[in-house]
A and B are shown apart, each in its own frame.
Chain A
Amino acid sequence: MIEHPRADELIEAVAGWVESIRPQLNPRDAFLSRVAVNALNAVKRELIQGPAAEAAARSRLSALLGMEADLGTLNAELCERLRRGEMNVATPGLLTALKAGIEDQIAIDQPTYVSVGRR
């Protein structure tokens, strides 16, 4: 792996450049440039946090489903069991596992998002 510079440093540099030209852009392009910077920042977070999040998701789903496989297979199996009605909100460990997984995902996609809390 080439580390001089690291991939996340390249992304940061590009995002910084897009930010710097925003004041010269028309309103539509200024809006899209903001979206572009958000996209770059999500990629950067995924590069840094993604591997650990995937490993954690894999071990969580393995435990929940009682089988060993790659993450894609485990995820598809979980969806299949939910479609067949073999698992539901009352299934022990299901909501806890889903919540842990989605918390890792939102930390990559939109770390500032404030989710709906307890009523």
Chain B
Amino acid sequence: MEVDIPSALAALAPKLGGTGVEKAQRLTGGASMETWAFNLIGAGEPRPLILRRRAVPLDPETSRSASMAAEAALIEAAGHAGAPVAPLVRLCEPEDGVGEGHITGFVAGETLGRKIVADPRFDGVRPHLARQCGQILARIHTIPTGAATLTTADAQGELDRYEAIYRASGAERPILELALQHLRRNLPPPMPNVALHGDFRNGNMMFDPDHGVAAVLDWELAHVGDPAEDLGWLCVNSWRFGRSDRPVGGFGDYQDLLEGYIEAGGAEIPLSRVLFWQALGSLKWGIMCLMMYSSYATGATNSVERPMIGRRVSETEIDLVNLLEAGL
């Protein structure tokens, strides 16, 4: 059902402490999530706010996504833990008329990954970003695992889940087969589970040219699991935007990330464990690309974007071969 978001926000304004809204505009169009920017007016200076709402109802059986209520609880818990977030303003209720969603403050900055790795405006802060990400992850990982209703997934569980998706796709990709086999045979020893962001990568953070990470965004894939999962995901080559020589997000080095993590109270994590999760991350992204292609092949979606994403499987395969050749 189409919802008139600007009207719904205008009606909601009094509950947000204003009298109306202006400049409501949709920013991004994910398949399932929408982001809207708007100004709240009537309480002094116009206050820029962000609405994030689910456009399609959440199916708790098949979706990995946390509910918007869980996202909101995590954003608050992350703020208390000392991680930079866009502050929560309101968890929307059904009578708010915007569906399942939440409203946060607006944080200024840049989210485009290739700008973070290449734009001269970020030259000054770039050398500090890997350490800063390590520190932020250590703080996120102190969030009590019971702070929100989250699923739990360890390396074995992730391999099972993604292997099932790969098998169901019918694809025959030798490098993905080899990676599945190799990672299964080299599972890291158990480590206490923590609350994970689940999608902590260059592209899901707001960066300020002077201060670095201004806000950690997109908490949709938060879950409970191995702390090295978040560190490894940040290092997946697909989010280095051409700067594969700088393994952490295309902006920094492993050592700075791991040192920052320990400085802020995180556990000591061997590089080999991060590399395991980085490789598993490439494998997962490759299988996600296959899955997105499948949604085109089966006729579920018809955008030109979907089949072309299928041609990104090979980028994860060449990265996996190089990682396997280097001994992971």
Which residues on A are within 8 Å of B, measured CB to CB?
28, 32, 35-36, 38-39, 42, 75-76, 78-79, 82-83, 85, 87-89, 94-95, 98-99, 102-103, 105-106, 109-110, 112-119
Does B181 lie within 8 Å of A115, measured CB to CB?
no
Contact with A along B253-265 (1 / 0, CB 8 A): 0000000000000
- CB-CB under 8 A from A35, the residues of chain B are 304-305, 308
Interface centre among A85, A88, A105, A116 (most CB of B within 10 A): A116
Q: How far is the CB of A81 from chain B (nearest CB, A)?
A: 9
Q: How far is the CA of A98 from the CA of B323 in the complex (A)?
A: 13
- Interface stretch, picked from B53-61, B62-70, B170-178, is B170-178
- CB-CB under 8 A from B292, the residues of chain A are none
Which of A42, A94, A103 lies in contact with B311, CB distance below 8 A?
Answer: A42
Q: Enumerate 10 A-B pairs (CB-CB under 8 Å) in ascending A order.
A: A28-B29, A32-B304, A79-B174, A82-B178, A88-B178, A89-B324, A102-B318, A112-B242, A116-B247, A116-B322
Q: How far is the CA of A78 from the CA of B237 in the complex (A)?
A: 26
With A95-B325, A109-B314, A119-B326 known as contacts, the answer to whether A39 contacts B178 (CB < 8 A) is no
Question: Which residues 294-312 of B sit at the A interface, judged by CB distance below 8 A?
Answer: 303-305, 307-308, 311-312
Task: Identify the closest chain B residue to A61 (Cβ).
Answer: B174
Q: Is B220 interfacial (CB 8 A cutoff)?
A: no
Does A95 lie within 8 Å of B321, measured CB to CB?
yes
Q: How far is the CA of A82 from the CA of B101 in the complex (A)?
A: 45
Does A79 lie within 8 Å of B177, measured CB to CB?
yes
Besides A88-B185, A95-B325, 11 other A-B contacts (C-beta < 8 A): A28-B29, A38-B308, A39-B308, A78-B174, A89-B178, A102-B314, A102-B321, A109-B311, A109-B314, A109-B315, A116-B244
Task: Identify the closest chain B residue to A82 (Cβ).
Answer: B177
Q: Is B245 interfacial (CB 8 A cutoff)?
A: yes
Does B308 lie within 8 Å of A110, measured CB to CB?
no
Does A89 lie within 8 Å of B182, measured CB to CB?
yes
Q: How far is the CA of A85 from the CA of B185 in the complex (A)?
A: 11
With A35-B304, A85-B181 known as contacts, the answer to whether A113 contacts B318 (CB < 8 A) is yes
Tally B residues with Cβ within 8 Å of A. 35
Question: Which residues 92-124 of B sit at the A interface, judged by CB distance below 8 A?
Answer: none
Does B325 lie within 8 Å of A99, measured CB to CB?
yes
- CB-CB under 8 A from A76, the residues of chain B are 172
Does A115 lie within 8 Å of B29, measured CB to CB?
no
Task: Identify the closest chain B residue to A97 (Cβ).
Answer: B174
Q: How far is the CB of B134 from chain A (nearest CB, A)?
A: 18
Question: Which residues 269-316 of B sit at the A interface, judged by CB distance below 8 A?
Answer: 303-305, 307-308, 311-312, 314-315
Does A75 lie within 8 Å of B315, measured CB to CB?
no
Q: How far is the CB of A113 from chain B (nearest CB, A)?
A: 5
Which of B174, B305, B307 lies in contact with A98, CB distance below 8 A?
Answer: B174
Task: Identify the closest chain A residue to B186 (Cβ).
Answer: A89
Q: Is B317 interfacial (CB 8 A cutoff)?
A: yes
- CB-CB under 8 A from A32, the residues of chain B are 303-305
Task: Identify the closest chain B residue to A95 (Cβ).
Answer: B325
Q: How far is the CA of A85 from the CA of B244 in the complex (A)?
A: 31
3 tightest CB-CB pairs across the interface, nearest first? A82-B177, A116-B237, A109-B311
Contact with A along B171-209 (1 / 0, CB 8 A): 011110110011001000000000000000000000000
Q: How far is the CB of A28 from chain B (nearest CB, A)?
A: 7
- CB-CB under 8 A from A87, the residues of chain B are 178
